[in-house]
Amino acid sequence: MNDYQTPVPADLPERIQHYIDGESVDSAEGGTFEVLNPVTNETYIHAAAGTKADVDLAVAAARRAFETGPWREMLPRERSRVLHRIADLVEGRGDRLAELESFDSGLPITQALGQARRAAENFRFFADLIVAQADDVYKVPGRQVNYVSRKPIGVAGLITPWNTPFMLESWKLAPALAAGNSVVLKPAEFTPLSASLWAGIFAEAGLPTGVFNLVNGLGEQAGDALVKHPDVPLISFTGESSTGQTIFANAAPALKGLSMELGGKSPAVVFADADLEAAINATVFGVFSLNGERCTAGSRILVERSIYDEFVERYAAQAKRVKIGFPHERETEVGALVHPEHFEKVMSYIEIGKGEARLVAGGGRPEGFPTGNFVAPTVFADVPSDARIFQEEIFGPVVAITPFDSEEEALELANNTKYGLAAYIWTNDLKRSHNFAQSVQAGMVWLNSNNVRDLRTPFGGVKASGLGHEGGYRSLDFYTDQQAVHINLGEVHNPVFGKAD
């Protein structure tokens, strides 16, 4: 037993179950898996371990609800009302959600508190969008009218990650449900606790039985069965790129629709004319918030050489002041990593980095935290572009800083990884900022800004960072089939084959 304990949330369930066809159920084969407290690495609850049998039951329920239930036939306004009720319930349970999320994932409580607001806003956004949506019409006056009709596709398979799990689940659930689909959610096995809230929220909001189903379990079992199921025509996945490759291969024989937001190794490029204090504050937050476990983290900082030494010195000093603490403490800025498996991965990269670059802050377990998954905010300087800590996603509180001498070199360094999710550019030169943004290989670019999302814009990456985009109408595009209907208004102009003499 450790010398310290974090407060255990009150009224935890005895175990975490699946939710299939309106009922909380154990696994058909009776299997469970352990869920660990990231501060102590002790098992605090067991969750139902889903297998193909559980996925089959969930998909059957979802398909039955889609084909015979009222959800897909409801007017957009009627579905919108349910989604707004869901948003109200999520927002009203924000404190409870944050408590569970922080305890389960190691996320600092102050950062977890924002997740309920963001999750609620996702549902509000798509509740409004589904009512405001207008289908396209194309006219040829006097001859033809063509219109596009959107139709829900069926059962959507949603596979979500363990970083900010509840919010990222909402990011998929809201548009899938808004469009009229039924869903089967497979949350990450490291963090299943907050996902168990969805069943009660949806039932109270009036979502019809069977429209939402949840199967817990390992990716290799429950996730794999969901991807391969013949009655699941589309899969939305967020996670690491190697898992995305496996999903791509397994979904290919059935030609399923895929939306995949994958890994990142995003550059933050700081030019000499930038607001240095703003750039340092943003890049410190950008890699150390959410414990560094964020796909859009600016984990490679490229700095123009004339300000490089000053930047490194100030950045390292600020990183050393980042408050490491227990997730439940309000002053904590970096808590515990999610799982000992991930902790070992991050620590192994830190050891690799010590042989590749100059360590200027952190570098291991922080003082006062002899156990648990705590990693000190770690900064490496003078990182060469062929270093593993420059090229590979670490997904923890570790940053690599590299100098550049010209705009051309900065662009070459920024694009010199297999990833292409996000990029951050700091400069007061308007022409350069826009030209650089156009040339950098990234699905999303922020100019003189931290990662601030507008839900109307596309979210996704290029190269190994993803396939497809979601956000705004692009989400509705993914979760619907678009059918073109052509209407003749004039004389029929057909070539006549086999005409009688």
Catalytic residues: 261
Count of alpha carbons within 13 angstroms of residue 487, beta-carbon side: 10
C-beta separation of 420 from 462 below 8 A: yes
Ranges of H-type helices in 106-178: 109-132, 165-178
CA torsion 91→183→55→70, rounded to 10°? 110
The length of the chain is 501
The whole-angstrom separation of Cα 495 and Cα 497 is 6
C-beta separation of 283 from 270 below 8 A: yes
The whole-angstrom separation of Cα 280 and Cα 360 is 15
- Both tokens of 357, joined, read 């670059």
Three-state SS across 364-391? CCCCCCCCCCCCCCEEEECCCCCCHHHH
Would you give the end-to-end CA distance of the chain in angstroms? 97
Beta strand ranges found along 193-324 (DSSP E): 212-214, 234-238, 257-261, 267-270, 300-304
- Both tokens of 261, joined, read 């937001």
C-beta separation of 157 from 226 below 8 A: yes
Count of alpha carbons within 13 angstroms of residue 329, beta-carbon side: 13
**Nearest to 279, CA basis, from 289, 266, 270:** 270
The whole-angstrom separation of Cα 150 and Cα 108 is 41
DSSP 149: E
Question: Is 231 exposed, middle or buried, given 0-12, 13-18 or 19+ CB atoms closer than 10 A?
Answer: middle
β-sheet bridge partners, residue 324: 334
β-pairing, 23-25 vs 18-20, is antiparallel
